[in-house]
Every structure is written in C-alpha cells, then in structure tokens.
Amino acid sequence: MGGTMGTALRSKPSRASVPERKFLFLFAGGGWDATPLDPKYGGDGLSPIDGTDMDPDTFRGELGNLSWSSGQDRPAMDAFFARWINRTALIRGVNVHSAGHSSGRQWMMTGTSASSVADWPTTLAAHSPNEYPMPHVVFSGPAFGGSEGAALVRGGGGTLLDLMDGSILGASDNPAPVVPTPSDAMADALVYERALAFADSKEGLGKSRAEDLLASLDRAEELEGRRFEAGLADGGRDFLDQCLMATEIMRLGLSRCAMVGIPGGWDTHGGNQNVGPQMDVLFDSLDQLMTHLATTPGRDAEWLIDEVTIVATSELGRTPLFNGAMGRDHWPYTSMMALGSGIRGNTVCGATDDRLISVPVDLANGQVKEGGDLLGTENVGAALLKLGGLDPEIYRPGIKSLDGLIR
C-alpha cells in the first residue's frame, strides 16, 4: 500500500506533545582504537607508557579534565575539544563482554546477549509518551529491534520514500502497476477500516497486532504529508548530511532517535595508520554538527543542543600493543563519547590501567574506586535510558546506571 489514505480513516484523539530528550547514536563499525580517547603517555605527554603502544608522532592533548591523543594528522580533535569541552564526556574502559564483531555490537547496543531485547534507541523510541511517524530511524549502522521492532524504521537510501508512495512497485525485477491515487486511497481506507474492526473485536495478541498495523498506517499518513517539509527527498548521503537530517526530523517531531554509521575502516588488524585521519574527519563533522545544534531552535528547548544527546561508540576496542603488521587486534574494552543535552560536560567516566584493562569505578560519579564496579555497556545504556526519562529497572532489571555521566 502506498499513497495518502482517504478521509474514511478514523479520527484520532489528539495527544499533547510531552517535552523529551532526543538521541542520535553514531557507530564506528569494525571496532575502533580506544587510545585516541584514552591516551597512555608518560609524564612528558610524549612517550607511551609501558604496556601500551601509541600511534607514532602523537602526544597527549589535554584541556580541563579531558585528554586525548593529538597529532598533526588529527587537528580537528584539538579544535573540537577546545570548543565543546563543557558539552562533552569521555567514557573509558567500557567492557563489551566480547571480542567478536557481531556479539560486541549486540552487547554495546543492548547491554545483553538476548536477541529479544531491543537496543537503546529503539527502547527509548518505543516507550516515549509521544507518538512519532518514525520513532527510531536507522540511516546506517546496526539495529536490534528485538520485541520492539515496530518502532524501528530503516531510512537509508530512497527505499523509505519509495515504500511510502508506492513507487517501489514499479522498480522491482517484475514491475507491478502503480495504482492511481484515488483508487489507492480507497484501498488504504478499506484496509484501515478492516483492521480497526478486527482490533475492536479481539483481545490479546490479535488485538495488539491489529493496533500495531493501525499505528503504522497512521504514521505513514503523517509522514507522507510531511516528507517535503522534512526534506527527506533532498538530503545528501554522507555522514554529516545524515546527521543533520536526523536532527532535523527530530526537530520536526517526526522521530525521537536515530542511528548513523561513522564511515572509515576501523578494523585495523593490518595497520593503524589511518586512525588519525579518520578521527580528524569524524571530529570535524562533530564540530559542524554541534555548531548546527547550538544555532538551531529546538522543538522542546530553546536550542537543539539542549534537546539532543549524541552518543559515539563502536562494538569493541583494539589491543594495547601493535601486532607484527603495526595493526591492533580485537579487545573487549573500548571508549565512548557522549555530547549535548543532559551530559555532564568536561567529565571522564571510567578508566583503564596501563594495559587498557578496565578498573573498578564508582558508578555514581564515574571515578576510580577500589572495590567499585567494572563499567559495562549495560551501565552506560541504563544511564541513557534514565536520560530519556525511562526507569532502567523496568527495562534492564538489576543493572546499575552510570549516573556520573548525567548532568
């Protein structure tokens, strides 16, 4: 079914928009080197400490409570931290509980290995008090819908728009005729009325499934009417374009969460020399994105930067020592970065020892504590749920939140 639905659709009760935080997740697929965000230099800021290799020709950059691996191949990192230190938190020593790509992605994004559990952005979107045509949009990068798959929309390329207006029927290997708009609207209305009658006559799973279909049709109707307002047909395809598009549809009230994949070859088994340039591109884009958020009016806040939380991560880390090919292999501890709304800026949560192994911390403030807790993906995720107004105990029972991340 495509096209705009007719006037025979039921009238929907209006629901007031509840102010809430939006979330943009950025994911470096392949497992990034954690040392740019968790540098290991000695007292001179130049020489690597025993147990960890640092990229050649780099040194410790430092400002406030933050430090990073600086160098001539990554000047955008210096510029970014200089401008946005008070909006940025680094999270170090995050235990991914895995050294494999697939399992690491699932642990990072869900805090568990259970396939039925939705990832953090899908959970946040699915349990919002507001209704969104596209609750969680995945432009690129991983997605785990679990039992909340109805809240997840894949928005990469033009497929989403083609599905909405029905034009995808004419683009298949065996093209089907596209139904004229009046007939298409009548068919949509008929399906909607049948689903509504079915939902009203059933209980349990049947009723729930029918109501999910009705909700999807409602979302499609609104999105079809607002696709040009959102500029969905005009956005570019590179990383920054997708990030800007994601925040724009949040501003318009079309989505609460989005996922965008960070481009680059992060699986550096055979050479780590590209990490600096890749980080430079990433931080240059982040600088432009944060500038956009700081100068664009928000939907629920004065500026988008006070409404949108950005989380940058990867599915695993890299070994502290180079291998024989001057690359790094898989490692179960990594670093993350959180920016923007609700984040305690100029803060480092978590820590690693000289060999990039996580050490215990006090989750209440994120600082090293003997006898504290080992920081895991689940603790970071619980903090994100709390930032989004959800009770972590409901969605991840028994998991402590990294409250030190929250402003």
User: pLDDT of 30-81, one tens digit each?
Assistant: 999 999 999 999 999 999 999 999 999 999 999 999 999 999 999 999 999 9
Q: Is the pLDDT assigned to residue 141 strictly greater than 50?
A: yes
Looking at per-residue pLDDT, the higher value among 261 and 154 belongs to 261
Beta bridge partners of 22: 308
Mean pLDDT within 337-344: 98
Strand partners, 261: 27
Give the per-residue pLDDT at 122: 98
Type of residue found at 251: R
Per-residue pLDDT tens digits for 370-389: 999 999 999 999 999 999 99
Distance from C-alpha of 401 to C-alpha of 188, rounded to nearest angstrom:
45
pLDDT in tens, 91-131: 999 999 999 999 999 999 999 999 999 999 999 999 999 98
Return the higher-pLDDT residue of 18 and 8.
Answer: 18
Q: Where are the domains of the chain?
A: 22-157+237-405, 180-229
Q: Which residues of 19-51 are buried (b: 16+ CB within 10 A; e: fewer)?
A: ebbbbbbbbbbbbbbbbbbbbbbeeeeeebbee
| pLDDT(160) > 80 | no
Contact, 86 vs 407, CB < 8 A?
Answer: no
Q: Using DSSP, state whether 175 is helix, strand or coil.
A: coil
Region class of 3: left (phi > 0), else alpha (psi between -120 and 50), else beta:
left
Distance CA 132, CA 368 (A): 40
Residue type, 55: D
Q: Among all chains, which residue has been given the structure tokens 């998991």?
A: 399
Work out whether the CA dihedral 397, 402, 403, 407 comes out positive or negative. Answer: negative
Backbone angles phi, psi at 212, to 5 degrees: -60, -40
> In this structure, are residues 104 and 96 in contact, taking their beta carbons and an 8 Å threshold?
yes
Does residue 164 surpass a pLDDT of 60? no
Q: What are phi and psi of 242, to 5 degrees?
A: -65, -40
Q: Alpha carbon 75 to chain centroid distance? A: 25
- What is the 3 state secondary structure string of 202-228? CCHHHHHHHHHHHHHHHHHHHHHHHCC
Q: What is the pLDDT of residue 155?
A: 76
Residue 140: CB partners within 8 Å, gap ≥ 6? 156, 242, 259, 260, 261
Using alpha carbons only, what angle is made at residue 254 by residues 219 and 129, rounded to the nearest 5 degrees?
Answer: 80
φ and ψ of 29, to 5 deg: -65, 135
Say what the pLDDT of residue 232 is. 57
**How large is the angle between the packed helices 275-295 and 239-251, nearest 10 degrees?**
30
Q: Which CATH architecture has domain 22-157+237-405?
A: 3-Layer(aba) Sandwich (3.40)
pLDDT at 16 over 70: no
Q: CA 188, CA 6: separation in Å to the nearest integer?
A: 7
Looking at residue 187, its pLDDT comes to: 75
Tell me the percentage of the chain whose pLDDT exceeds 90.
71
**Amino acid found at 238:** D
**pLDDT at 159 exceeding the cut of 80:** no
| pLDDT mean over 220-233 | 58
Judge whether residue 192 has pLDDT over 80.
Answer: no
Q: Which has the higher per-residue pLDDT, 19 or 384?
A: 384
Please state the pTM of the whole predicted model.
0.85
Q: Name the phi and psi angles at 299, rounded to 5.
A: -90, -45
- d(CA 360, CA 371) in angstroms, rounded, equals 6
Among 393, 405, 312, smallest CA distance to 361 is for 405
Residue 182 tokens read as 């009046």
Rounded to the nearest 5°, which phi and psi values hold at 169?
-65, -30
Over residues 342-370, the pLDDT tens digits come to 999 999 999 999 999 999 999 999 999 99
Please state whether beta strands 317-318 and 330-331 pair in parallel, antiparallel, or not at all (unpaired): antiparallel
